[in-house]
Structure 1
Amino acid sequence: MSKQVKTVLVLVFGIFVGISVSLTSSVLADKSAKSSASGLPLNELRNFSDIFARIKSDYVEEVDDKTLLENAIRGMLTGLDPHSAYLSPDEYKELKIGTTGKFGGLGIQVGMEDGFVKVISPIDDTPAYRAGIKAGDLIIRLDDKSVKGMTLNDAVKIMRGEPGTDIKLTVIREGADKPLTITITRAIISVKSVKSRILEDGYGYVRISNFQSKTARDLVSEITKLKKENRDELKGLVLDLRNNPGGVLTAAADVADAFIDDGKLVYTKGRIPNS
């Protein structure tokens, strides 16, 4: 496949983070229950148990066990680094919807930073893009609701909605004197992650806005189309990944495989051997 394109000029490659989500039914454990138990921080677990019981008995409102335990799991992961997170079954379903390329909403890739919703990138040709939302914007309010205390999934659910309805975003933007209020009309977001055009005779341009499950297949189709438009020959290709927030890791690897003949494309490295 890579021989179709002899020269690849990467306009901006940068660093992109691919998200690979997998569910596993196995649990890594030590060889013996005794050695596993001896490694548990018993004093800290007693503290956790005491706090759990105190919340159950004294908190101003009743909280069910599932909510408390799920929040504890989220806290363990979000405290590690900005890219570690726990996904409930509903959140995993939302993630799968987002990587198919079609959903109802505003058209922005978002994450969490310091308790606010951070815009990673507006998606090309969507309501958010046309309204002027920019990468790096911090969303602090959705309509009249502060995002402080919300999970990312809570915020995404609010931003998605019936096409034709409006939502008001209050954002903090670097360089702006005060928060900006931007009203956006929701629409069906059908995102084509790969677009292409001929730049000049013999040279093509391909933009990949994010990595969806079908991105690699669409890339091959676009390159084939470019070749047909250029008498079945391309001297070079500009691959534009600017503001690409990432997406499905296997899709990103498949895209790289389209241009690289051999060698290692992706690997993971952890503190556990062979992890």
Structure 2
Amino acid sequence: MLHLSRLTSLALTIALVIGAPLAFAAQPAPAVAPAGTAATAKAPLPLEELRTFAEVMDRIKAAYVEPVDDKTLLENAIKGMLSNLDPHSAYLGPEDFTELQESTSGEFGGLGIEVGSEDGFIKVVSPIDDTPASKAGIQAGDFIVKINGAPTRGQTMTEAVDKMRGKIGQKITLTLVRDGGTPFDVTLARAVIQVKSVKAQLLESGYGYIRITQFQVKTGEEVSKALAKLRKDNGKKLNGIILDLRNNPGGVLQAAVEVVDHFIKKGLIVYTKGRIANSELRFSATGKDESEAVPMVVLINGGSASASEIVAGALQDQKRAVVMGTTSFGKGSVQTVLPLNNDRALKITTALYFTPNGRSIQAQGIVPDIEVRKAKITNEADGDYFKEADLQGHLGNGNGGADKPTGSGAKAKAMPQDDDYQLAQALSLLKGLSITSGR
């Protein structure tokens, strides 16, 4: 199973508890690599290292302050073996494996935040829309320094997350540090997180907005429905579309491919390179473009990772969309879930993915075509200027149009772009593209 996400290995294994949308695509992986590959080249067992391993186990069992059983020591050894490979490989126990499988449904319990680790602290990667965390104002980049008053520094990710666990409805207080400022407390109630991965609306007549919060199994299908709804609501062909992938941490590889497929008619979407069989894959468009080739802008930022970068990179390389925002996260590796016996599994990095033009995004990210940083919008009141139509005895329009005196315009309904600078810039660009394309 191919899995795309950007959290640290321990965060990945317990993400269900705190709301991280883990996902994997159904892609079988061989239990043994094909003969003749480097993966199966037999080498003599490192007997000296195995003797050292056995000796360390014996010393721990004999000298550690508390009794430790063989099972615990061996499981810890396996976890260490995986965690030292890269930040995304991990050993999944029965509970972690179950949580990983369940999370693709888009419903899980927790606070609605994705976390990673940095400098020994728990760091918020991104809050998930419409969850307790996002409603409480928690932001990407916040450090969680305390959980219910207990410092998190020095704790493992698992230990910290265990403290966040609890019954639905119970409250938990997180102490956060933002931008190096003074610590402050946020109290949240644990909840069942039901995440809709796709949201869509018309920003203005003719201009559609689609936001994908994460890539779940049904995200491709949801985008198809969103496009149909936007066309219906608009009553005619759209003038342009904004695809918002900001703070989208990734998810199911196949879902990312399906999303791109809705916007292009032909061409390569993404390909992967790895060492084991089935790790070298190529995904191309099937010709079912549902966007009617209207002008398009894709929004990304530092919170856009993995599957989000596949989508942005493909649409950028295929010259289908203008990518706007800030450079993405840079997670360009693929994880495969290899089931073991006793309901356990390994999640290991097996491949790197590449954009149609052969770019590896790993540790570099997608660079936007137009950089637009986050900023606050301050709306100034537009004075009611005296107009020609206010003058007594003014001439009529001549073409039969109605007069438009001062104050005749209807008050505009509040829209997402009103206080979202990056989105407002994307909409302005989209209007320009629409005008120049003659739509």
The TM-score bracket by the shorter chain reads 0.7 to 0.9
Change (3 A) 1:129 1:272: same
Provide Cα deviations, 1:205-251, integer angstroms capped at 9, x if missing partner.
00011111221111111111111001142221100000111122222
Does 2:239 correspond to 1:246? no
For the residues of structure 2 that align with 1:35 and 1:224, how far apart are their CA atoms?
Answer: 52
1:119 equivalent among 121, 124, 142: 124
Which letter maps to 1:149? Q
Provide Cα deviations, 1:93-149, integer angstroms capped at 9, x if missing partner.
112233322222211122333443321110112111121211122223322444433
1:49 equivalent among 41, 51, 54: 54
Name the counterpart of 1:169.
Answer: 174
TM-score by length of 1: 0.81
Displacement of 1:186 in angstroms is 1.6
Name the counterpart of 1:188.
Answer: 192
Question: Any stretches of 5+ residues in structure 2 without a counterpart?
Answer: 7-21, 280-439
Mapped contact 1:106–1:187 kept (Cα < 8 A): yes
Name the counterpart of 2:207.
Answer: 203
Mapped contact 2:116–2:123 kept (Cα < 8 A): yes
User: What is the DSSP-based 3-state SS (H/G/I as helix, E as strand, rest coil) of the residue aligned with 2:200?
Assistant: strand
Change (3 A) 1:74 1:116: farther
Does 2:207 correspond to 1:212? no
2:98 equivalent among 89, 93, 97: 93
2:139 equivalent among 130, 134, 157: 134
Name the counterpart of 1:150.
Answer: 156
Mapped contact 1:29–1:36 kept (Cα < 8 A): no
Name the counterpart of 1:7.
Answer: none
Mapped contact 2:5–2:23 kept (Cα < 8 A): no
- The structure whose Rg is larger is 2
Displacement of 1:179 in angstroms is 3.0
Q: How does 1:10-29 map to 2 (within 5 A)?
A: 17=6, 20=24, 26-28=31-33
TM-score by length of 2: 0.53
Q: How does 1:69-108 map to 2 (within 5 A)?
A: 69-108=74-113
User: What is the DSSP-based 3-state SS (H/G/I as helix, E as strand, rest coil) of the residue aligned with 1:244?
Assistant: coil
Which letter maps to 2:77? A
Mapped contact 1:104–1:162 kept (Cα < 8 A): no
Which letter maps to 1:200? E
Which letter maps to 1:215? T
* Superposed CA RMSD: 2.9
Q: How many residues align?
A: 257
Which letter maps to 1:203? Y
User: What is the DSSP-based 3-state SS (H/G/I as helix, E as strand, rest coil) of the residue aligned with 2:174?
Assistant: strand
